Amino acid sequence: MKRGEWFQMKYEHKNTFIHCLSPEIKIAYSIAVSILIVILNSPRELFLLAAAVLLVLFLAGPGFGRIRLLFFAVAAVVLSTFASQAVFYSFEPKTAVFTLVPDDFPVVGRFTGGIYMYREGMIYGLVQSLRLIAALTMAVTVVISTHPAHMVEALVRLRFSRSFSFVITMSIRFLPFMFEQSKRIVLALRMRGIKTRSINGAFRMIRFIFIPLVVNSLRQAKIAAFAAETRGIALDKNSPDGRRKNSFFDFNTFELITISFFIILMYVSIVPFKMGLGRIPFFHTFFFSIPITCVLFIGIGLIPKPGIVFFMVCGHRLFIQIMLTGINPLWWPYALIEATSLELFFLLRGRFLDSYGAAFSAGVLRGSVVYLYFYLVSAPYIWHQFYAPWYIGIQTFWGAAGSAVGGMAGYRFGLLIRKTCARSGL
């Protein structure tokens, strides 16, 4: 797969039968497939489900580029699921067909009792691949046949919160602006002689790009909020100034647009994971956790209000589903658990991020909750994938460590951004 090709999974304007269906029907289709993925257990039933979902995809008339991208994604899903279940299969009976690490190998072998590839795990992995293929194909169908704006309008008609729908809408509109701002900043850095293609230059660019990008976006958010309020856009019918009175989610228009921008940053922060860091054995949770936790904690530091974690985490998950994966309610509890744990942490402290210690503790909490929920609840009960206890422990440790590092980095960046905003009069 070419670098950046995963961005191509977006809406295609066509006049097919699937394109003409209303977004509400596609949302219902996504929910139905998601439920069937969980309740079906027979290989024959799962194969028929995957075949039916593939048929619906071809009715949507995907282009060759989308088909090729889907082929690579399906191949990656099958291979990764096959390998992970072959190694970490925990049911009995199991027959070892290949030894990766013998039980008498120093440290690793004695800690794990040996690492083997099991025949039953290979078969089990191939069966579970059908679930992932059905989910992936369903997501591609919904994404390429539904314009994001139409999906947001459907969510509004389905009685989603006005302010939450506003955040998602602004997130979609912020996306091209943010990429355009990034290109301008990179061009300015290159004109100043900074080598952006070297490894050292890439790390320097993170600092030189990130702070100006955030500050410029905050300035743009302030202008957009003023324009929205000038045009009479009120997020609560009972509140003409755009505020939700006597509510846990008490944000003005500027804060909601700022949240939209940080949802986009959280979306962009998964790019390194998509570009190959996720393939690093045992350490992928560490690398994945750092950037997304960093962005999340910057947003919390800039808008320290109750409900900020809920809006950023749940908004990010819904935005990802609208743009990339299709509506899948089975993943909503994942976001709710993460948001609720951090909201309770800050509520019990009585303060938000006010020190490196608070950022470290909140990061460890986030990483532990997210990965324990995934490996102990989401993976076995939604995707029917089971992992060995020692593997769960290692991944949770690295996820908590990465979240702690990202949390402290986010606190540091938040301080720099606040100082820059103060100097620029924002």
- Predicted confidence (pLDDT) per residue in 126-175, tens digit: 778 888 888 888 888 888 888 877 887 887 787 777 777 888 888 877 77
Are 225 and 93 found together in one domain? no
Are 332 and 403 found together in one domain? yes
Are 300 and 411 found together in one domain? yes
Which pLDDT score, from 0 to 100, does residue 237 have?
46
Task: Provide the residue range defining the domain that includes 108.
Answer: 5-146
- Would you put residue 101 in left (φ > 0), alpha (ψ -120 to 50) or beta? beta
Which pLDDT score, from 0 to 100, does residue 365 have?
96
Are 217 and 352 found together in one domain? yes
Are 180 and 133 found together in one domain? no
How would you write the pLDDT of the chain (426 residues) with one tens digit per residue?
343 444 445 677 788 888 888 888 888 898 888 888 888 878 888 889 989 999 998 888 887 777 777 777 778 777 777 777 777 666 667 777 777 777 667 766 666 667 777 777 777 777 788 888 888 888 888 888 888 778 878 877 877 777 778 888 888 777 777 777 777 877 777 777 766 565 565 566 666 778 888 888 888 888 888 877 776 665 544 444 444 444 556 788 888 889 988 998 888 887 666 655 555 666 788 888 998 999 999 999 999 999 899 999 999 998 888 877 777 888 888 899 999 999 999 999 988 988 999 999 999 999 999 999 999 988 888 777 777 788 889 999 999 999 999 999 999 988 988 888 888 776
The residue to which tokens 């590092």 are assigned: 405
Asked which of 119, 146, 173 is the last residue of a domain, the reply is: 146
CA distances from 31 to 38, 96, 314 (A): 11, 38, 17
Cis peptide before 329 (omega within 30 of 0): no
Which pLDDT score, from 0 to 100, does residue 368 have?
95
Are 370 and 385 found together in one domain? yes
Q: What is the dihedral of CA 279, 284, 289, 291, to 10 degrees?
A: -40
Q: How far apart are the first and last CA of the chain?
A: 42
Are 242 and 377 found together in one domain? yes
Write a three-state SS string for 14-71.
CCCHHHHCCHHHHHHHHHHHHHHHHHCCCHHHHHHHHHHHHHHHHHCCCCHHHHHHHH
Are 79 and 156 found together in one domain? no
Whole-number Å distance between alpha carbons of 35 and 382: 9
Count of domains forming the chain = 2
CB 213 within 8 A of CB 182: yes
β-bridge partners, 116: 99
Which pLDDT score, from 0 to 100, does residue 6 have?
41
Whole-number Å distance between alpha carbons of 137 and 140: 5
CB 185 within 8 A of CB 149: no
Are 204 and 55 found together in one domain? no
Asked which of 146, 178, 209 is the last residue of a domain, the reply is: 146
With CA atoms as reference, report the closest residue to 51 among 36, 72, 39: 36
Are 272 and 410 found together in one domain? yes
The residue to which tokens 């009995």 are assigned: 92
Are 134 and 270 found together in one domain? no
Asked which of 113, 146, 179 is the last residue of a domain, the reply is: 146
Model-level pTM?
A: 0.76
Are 25 and 155 found together in one domain? no
pLDDT digits (tens, 9 = 90+) for 62-110: 877 777 777 777 787 777 777 777 776 666 677 777 777 776 677 666 6
For residue 377, the 8-state DSSP code is: I
